[in-house]
Structure 1
Amino acid sequence: MTDHATTSTSRTLPPPAPTLTERLRAIPHRVRVVIALAIVYLIWGSTFLANGVAVTSIPPFLMLAVRFLLAGSILYAIATWRARRRVTHRPPTWRQWRHAFVTGATLLVGGTGLVTAGQVHLGSGMAALLCSTVPLWLAVVARVRFGDRLRARSWVGLAVGLVGVGTLVDPSGGQLVPMLVVLLGALSWAVGSLRSRTADVHTAPLVASAMEMLGAGVGFLLVGLLLGEPARLDVAAIDRVSVVALAYLITAGSIVAFTAYRWLLNNVATVLVGSHGYVNPVVAVGLGWAFAGELVTSRTLLGGGIVLIAVVLMVTSRPEQPVPAQATSGGDVFAGERRWRIGTVHVDWRTLGGRSERPREGRRPAEVTPS
């Protein structure tokens, strides 16, 4: 009996099953890059359609209040749980909460809110094309506010983008006001992104992003109350499709794709990450045409194509500048203590997504520490 017990305990125990993190790290880097890019392209490209579906039976600002309060709460719980494992973790201060509320108001209420409000009377594909002008606005605001120097290709991109927007915006088409509202939302998103990128707030990035979502949720609720949306809300009339679209925006749009984008910022070349700026609108136009029956006119194709060429010129002319997440993503990738620093780098395109960047001679190297 004793010999049998001794023999049993002396047997080699099987190794523990690998954790989910270990399994993910075992996936080849290029495969992870392709998966993350596919998530960002498809999910963020589809958020315009989801926005349009959600506001069919839910007032836009109340819908966004629910989205950001729930998404922010989930992300804040996850982020604080991760941050507590660090010895240096400290809970956010009132100053950090105040900054999060102000940035959330500019970036999310002003950006996402105006884009969504415009979508009440505008197709998802057109909204996506107009919203893709964020890199153009970003360059203009950085030039005016911070005196950033623009390369010749950037100036060409701005000129081409202006022509594209002029082609898209048809004053006689009956949609001038919602188009201008979406463009104003793209401008507000660019301003909020620059404010977040330059702010000196020492908070863990995911915690800061979640705080901004919560601040935006409160802001959306206040705007909805001021506009009298509760009086127009008919709970019994909310259809199942709108609820599914809202749940999709909370989980996939604000958490899954946002997390994938942050991972890409930390693991691949900046220009490759910025490619979502001209891929997502194409996805949005295709989904709007296929599932919402949105009309794609020759004017839309021409103007949209010109705008996307301008975005390509802007992104590739400023490889050291990360492109912010799109306005319907619901997240601020520049939040927190670890942000992109301005510098000049050279991108080696011989590797897919591999960070093979080196400083150009005579220039200050870029500090790449987003999260």
Structure 2
Amino acid sequence: MLASAPTASRSLILLALLALYLIWGSTYLATKIALGVWPPFLLSAMRYLLAGALLYGALRLSGSPAPSRQDWWRAAIMGVCLPVFGNGGTTFAQQYIPSGMTALLVASVPMYLALLGWASGLTARPNAKVLLGLVLGVGGLLLLLKTDSTAPVLIPGHALLGIGAVLVGSFMWAVGSLYSRQKPIGGSPFIGVGMQMLCGGFYLLLIGLLHGEGSSFHIDAVPLKIWGALAYLVVFGSIIALSAYVWLLKVVEPTLAGTYAFVNPVVALLLGWLFAGETLNTGMLGGAALIVAAVALVVLGGKQRQPRKLA
């Protein structure tokens, strides 16, 4: 039987959602900056190995019990779905498509979560408010996608490769999110986050080396600005935001936790306008308004549903 999600205060849930909305929305710009020097898989590997070692090490030193072999197995599966496919795929894609478009495509996550959660029996069928919110969210994203982007890409001419990588990564992120809800790692949820980041970082390192990134990358040539972007990804994008996301999956509906993917494109576009010279127009503002309405409907609709228990 799948136990009901633990109760949590509204203020903590709101704080965790804001962390996902603002921090993960800003990581697209930080990733774009870091990709100017770091190859994609080694960048993701370094991000998660450092974040995982810091989080896991701190919790173990503070007295958290050692995880079981089963916990490490579950962390290994989550590491493939979340850090490898989810983040590694989007980082790889940002070589070929603008960071704003990457954030827009990641907004497929809530749809995957709602439909896969319903199909697997982990959540009830989406009600009318949630379905309307998802439709509005897709409409807002399509409106944003129709606007012209002035963001340059590192490797032009392979947009379909980038789009495919994001869509596959988003699907696997949803699968891993639902798996973590159904098969949680024992003990503190935060030590589980550290474990999955360590596992995912190790896989990403192997992928990067097999991809030939080690031969063309020289770590001693990385400038201070790029180290700053990496530090932001490690501390804020991984330790803080990913911990908030995994905690939210335990206390709220997966669809609500996934609403970050509707808000992140708005944040990414605003940061692109402020710091990367990209333009804002009425299409972008209209799309952002639809996305805000979509999040509100998903939040209100999700409050009325209770998780379905599995026998």
Structure 1 residue identity aligned to 2:57 = A
Kept after mapping to 2: 8 A contact 1:154/1:317: yes
Aligned equivalent of 1:142: 117
Counterpart position of 2:128: 152
User: In structure 2, how many angstroms separate the alpha carbons of the residues matched to 1:74 and 1:295?
Assistant: 38
C-alpha contact (below 8 Å) 2:259/2:295 kept by paired residues:
no
- The CA deviation at 1:237 is 4.4
| Residue identity matched to 1:229 | E
- Of 197, 200, 209, the residue aligned with 1:213 is 197
Q: Cα–Cα, structure 1 residues 220 and 305, in superposed 2: closer, same or farther, change >3 Å?
A: farther
Q: Distance in 2 between matches of 1:117 and 1:232?
A: 16
Give a deviation string over 1:196-250, Cα, whole Å, max 9, x none.
1001542321111111000000111121122211123244543332211001111
Aligned to 1:82: 62
Residues 93 and 68 from structure 1, CA distance in 2 versus in 1: closer, same or farther, beyond 3 angstroms?
same
For 2:302 and 2:76, locate their aligned partners in 1 and report how far apart those are by CA, in whole Å: 29
Q: Distance in 2 between matches of 1:198 and 1:33?
A: 20
The amino acid of 1:58's aligned partner reads W
Cα distance, 1:303 vs. partner?
Answer: 4.5
Matched, 1:108 2:83: yes
Cα distance, 1:283 vs structure 2? 2.3
What amino acid does structure 1 have at the position aligned with 2:87? T
Q: Which has the larger radius of gyration?
A: 1
Kindly state the Cα deviation for residue 271 of structure 1 after the two structures are TM-superposed.
9.9
Aligned equivalent of 1:330: none
Is residue 2:98 matched to residue 1:123? yes
Deviates more, 1:54-63 or 1:247-256: 247-256
Query: 1:166/1:296 Cα in 2 relative to 1: closer, same or farther (>3 Å)?
Result: same
Q: CA deviation at 1:134?
A: 1.9
Q: Structure 1 stretches of 5 or more lacking a match?
A: 1-28, 322-340, 344-363, 365-371
* Contact 2:81 2:176 (C-alpha < 8 Å) held by counterparts: yes
The amino acid of 2:136's aligned partner reads V
Q: Normalized per residue, which structure has more helix?
A: 2
Cα deviation 1:67-93 (Å, max 9, x = unaligned): 111110110012223344xxxx4x222
Counterpart of 1:21 in structure 2 is none
Unaligned runs of 5+ in 2: 1-8, 150-156
State how far apart, in whole Å, the 2-side matches of 1:255 and 1:200 are.
18
* 2:37 corresponds to: 57
Say if 1:60 and 1:308 are closer, same or farther in 2 by CA, change over 3 A: farther
RMSD of aligned alpha carbons: 3.7
How many residue pairs were aligned?
292
2:68 to 90, 93, 96: 93
| Partners of 1:109 and 1:220 within 8 A in 2 | yes
How far the C-alpha of 1:255 sits from its partner, in A, is: 2.1
Q: Identity over the aligned pairs, expressed in percent?
A: 39
Which residue in 2 is equivalent to 1:281? Answer: 265
How much has 1:179 moved relative to structure 2?
3.2
The one-letter code sitting in structure 2 at the alignment partner of 1:195 is Y
Distance 1:142 1:267 in 2: 15
**CA distance, structure 2, for counterparts of residue 164 and residue 268 of structure 1:** 24
TM-score, structure 1 as length reference? 0.66
